[in-house]
Structure 1
Amino acid sequence: MSEQAMQYMAGQIQTTVRRNLEQFTLKVPNSNKQSLQHVVSNSPWDDDPAIVQLQHDVAALLGDPTHGALVLDESGIPKEGAHSVGVARQYSGALGKVDNCQIGVFLVYANPNLGATLIDRRLYLPKAWVQDQARRDKAGIPPDITFQTKAQLGWEMIRRAHANGLVFGFVSMDAHYGEQPWLRHALAGEGLIYMAEIPKTRRIFAREPIMRIPRRRHRQGPRPRRARPDIHPLTVEKFVKDHPAAWQRLKVRDTERGELIADFAAWRIWSVIDNNQPDADLWLIARRDLLDPNDISYAFCNASKDASLMRLAQMLCTRYWVERALQNAKSEAGLDEYELRGWRGWHHHMTLTLLTMLFLLELQMSLKDKAPMITVQDAREILQEILPKRKITEKDLIAIIRRKHQQRFDARQAHVNRANSS
């Protein structure tokens, strides 16, 4: 199995256009489509040990108990038809719209001083898929898989990374995850620091409210029993507008395109849960774009009260790395390029993609001293030149043409059959 897995990863590296098994076999010596199809789609190898080992390797390569971060995000992968496991019309942030797609939830380890890479993955299954036994059986979904929200899948991955001994300073997540109090409570309950983006409509108390049971206004009627706050909550957008003097302009870090500079502000506030009850004493952090002052993002953070504004700003800007890691995995290893419909195939492809990206990162970092500006793309291009390549013979060319003709014939026949049945 390991030889075919290595061939699959070599195919991901050496192929840059239309990554699929057909193209892999044209690039990788001694490979064939049937064996590659088997290793990724049908072979029952357990990918969990590979993820555990990958996380141990990432800990050795990037681990930092202060600046290291686990960054949680999701990515939509467009699909046609209704048979690919988990596919449905659903909102995808990557696509910016509702579309027919699969949703993968991903965890990235980021060290701003060294780099970032994907370290875990989960496939989100809509309820319609979980409840449809016929589709489950056809896609090979294990019997113990139940419905889980994206946030629950993310928490599962965070717990596994923590249990595997991966050291990090905090967890970063966007507003879809950050606005869910149970997830913030779960992280805090494990002693983990979080930087959780929130929507502008999230309500807060500007100070710790005093909770009192109000007096009964009339002699008749029930006596109030629930304590109420002595102040009204307000949205984070309103609160920030009311405190314009707090903004400070900070240079967060150097980037490939220049300096990352923005306006930041931070306040200690109390978050609000249901029925206007105070929740927790937190930092509210706001970031304002220099070019568009109306473009403001907001986040909750449970860092210590003595955390500096610079530290909070750097933590808030860590989310860049998950976008970078996902884009690299798509462009350099074909994370979103696969022709696999089943549960096992999706997870095997994603696991091999994560391993490929770690290998590219290791090569990039090993060459940093000689080429300080080297990127993951550069590392892949180096391997593309030095990896063994398959020599295409006349027999191979004839076989390729015959397969193309057969695929063309099958497609036409399928079209005719659909037309006759309608």
Structure 2
Amino acid sequence: MLDTLAGWSMRPPVVVAHTAYGTNAHLRGGLAERGIDYIYILAIRADVTAHPFDAQPTAPDRKGPVGCWPQPRYRHPAPSVAALATGLGQEAFTSLTWRQGSRGELRSRFAAVRVRPAGNAVERPIRAAASAEQGWWGGILPDCWLLVEWPEEAEAPTDYWLSNLPADPPIAGLIRLVKVRWRLEHDYRELKHGLGLDHFEGRSWPGWHHHVTLVTAAHAFLTEQRLAPKAPGPHSPSTRSSTPSKTS
């Protein structure tokens, strides 16, 4: 999908995805291969492994006077991101607000730390590419951001993300991006319940395509209206119908 967009000279400013995508090391590697044009912030599971940023691989002593030098490798197995996050301690987490909700500020505690994602699915293509280009790999895994959420009422961290954003982004900016998923879920709910995305009852592909196109155009129009400088504020009377519309 991203390659198709690139063929149309369109690139998303940031790729945001939930754990089913973010935990997939092949997807992360594919985005990295495409360069800095694809900035990503991807949710991951707690059992994804990563080395601390300052961990360095070392090469074992060569046995005997002949033969190749052993491949450098990390001396200790990579811990899970859950273990890394817990090891930071609660004092490393900062309480921040990412938006104003209908019932007040939405706040939680976050920490960001540089890590080196690990695992065979991560290491294999990196080793192969380095060996093909240089004939040897130094064993150092690429680093990226690990963003962790640890709500005050929770006994342990609850959510994790990996991001290849530059080395010094403000943590508040990272949080706003990871929480943009709320916007996606809200838009889908509006498409479905407010604009009739799920009302199509036909069986033909042209009919479905026509229906989805009209619903998408309607949603784009409503979004433009909300973004207009003179758009009604949050306390203005709602112009939205209480009965979901149905497109033909």
What is the letter of the counterpart of residue 178 of structure 1?
G
Higher strand share: 1
Once residues 276 and 361 of structure 1 are traced to their aligned partners in structure 2, the CA distance between those partners, rounded to angstroms, is: 39
Match of 2:28 in 1: 184
Q: 1:3-42 CA deviation, whole Å, 9 max, x = no partner?
A: xxxxxxxxxxxxxxxxxxxxxxxxxxxxxxxxxxxxxxxx
Instruction: Go from structure 1 to structure 2 and tell me whether the alpha carbon gap of 1:315 and 1:293 turns closer, same or farther (over 3 Å shift).
Output: farther
Instruction: Go from structure 1 to structure 2 and tell me whether the alpha carbon gap of 1:272 and 1:370 turns closer, same or farther (over 3 Å shift).
Output: closer
Q: Shift of residue 290 of structure 1?
A: 3.5
- Unaligned 5+ segments in structure 1 are 1-155, 385-422
Once residues 98 and 182 of structure 2 are traced to their aligned partners in structure 1, the CA distance between those partners, rounded to angstroms, is: 12
Q: Shift of residue 319 of structure 1?
A: 1.3
Match of 1:175 in 2: 19
Once residues 229 and 295 of structure 1 are traced to their aligned partners in structure 2, the CA distance between those partners, rounded to angstroms, is: 26
2:80 is aligned, of 235, 250, 253, to 235
Once residues 289 and 273 of structure 1 are traced to their aligned partners in structure 2, the CA distance between those partners, rounded to angstroms, is: 28
Q: Shift of residue 276 of structure 1?
A: 7.7
Q: 1:95-143 CA deviation, whole Å, 9 max, x = no partner?
A: xxxxxxxxxxxxxxxxxxxxxxxxxxxxxxxxxxxxxxxxxxxxxxxxx
Once residues 216 and 121 of structure 2 are traced to their aligned partners in structure 1, the CA distance between those partners, rounded to angstroms, is: 43
Instruction: Go from structure 1 to structure 2 and tell me whether the alpha carbon gap of 1:214 and 1:276 turns closer, same or farther (over 3 Å shift).
Output: farther
Match of 2:219 in 1: 357
Cα pair 1:233 1:276 within 8 Å, conserved: no
Q: 1:217-258 CA deviation, whole Å, 9 max, x = no partner?
A: 8x9xx9885442233200000111111131111122223332
Once residues 235 and 328 of structure 1 are traced to their aligned partners in structure 2, the CA distance between those partners, rounded to angstroms, is: 37
Q: 1:188-222 CA deviation, whole Å, 9 max, x = no partner?
A: 324221111100000000125433443478x9xx9
1:255 is aligned, of 101, 105, 108, to 101
Match of 1:381 in 2: 241
Once residues 210 and 295 of structure 1 are traced to their aligned partners in structure 2, the CA distance between those partners, rounded to angstroms, is: 26
What is the letter of the counterpart of residue 101 of structure 2?
T
Structure 1 outlier segments of 4+, above 6 Å = none
Cα pair 1:364 1:379 within 8 Å, conserved: no
Secondary structure, aligned partner of 1:336: helix
Cα pair 2:148 2:157 within 8 Å, conserved: no
Secondary structure, aligned partner of 1:234: coil
Q: Shift of residue 310 of structure 1?
A: 1.4
Secondary structure, aligned partner of 1:381: coil
Q: Shift of residue 169 of structure 1?
A: 3.5
Q: What are the residue-to-residue correspondences of 1:155-170 with 2, within 5 Å?
A: 156=1, 158-162=2-6, 164=8, 169-170=13-14
Matched, 1:322 2:173: no
Cα pair 2:61 2:70 within 8 Å, conserved: no
1:369 is aligned, of 223, 230, 235, to 230
Once residues 224 and 341 of structure 1 are traced to their aligned partners in structure 2, the CA distance between those partners, rounded to angstroms, is: 64
**TM-score when normalising by structure 1:** 0.47
Q: Shift of residue 358 of structure 1?
A: 1.1
Instruction: Go from structure 1 to structure 2 and tell me whether the alpha carbon gap of 1:163 and 1:373 turns closer, same or farther (over 3 Å shift).
Output: farther
Match of 2:127 in 1: none
Cα pair 2:86 2:156 within 8 Å, conserved: no
Cα pair 2:26 2:121 within 8 Å, conserved: no
What is the letter of the counterpart of residue 240 of structure 1?
A
Q: 1:318-346 CA deviation, whole Å, 9 max, x = no partner?
A: 11111111111111112223213344443
Once residues 260 and 354 of structure 1 are traced to their aligned partners in structure 2, the CA distance between those partners, rounded to angstroms, is: 29
Q: Shift of residue 316 of structure 1?
A: 1.6
Q: How many residues align?
A: 224
Matched, 1:199 2:199: no
Q: Shift of residue 172 of structure 1?
A: 0.9
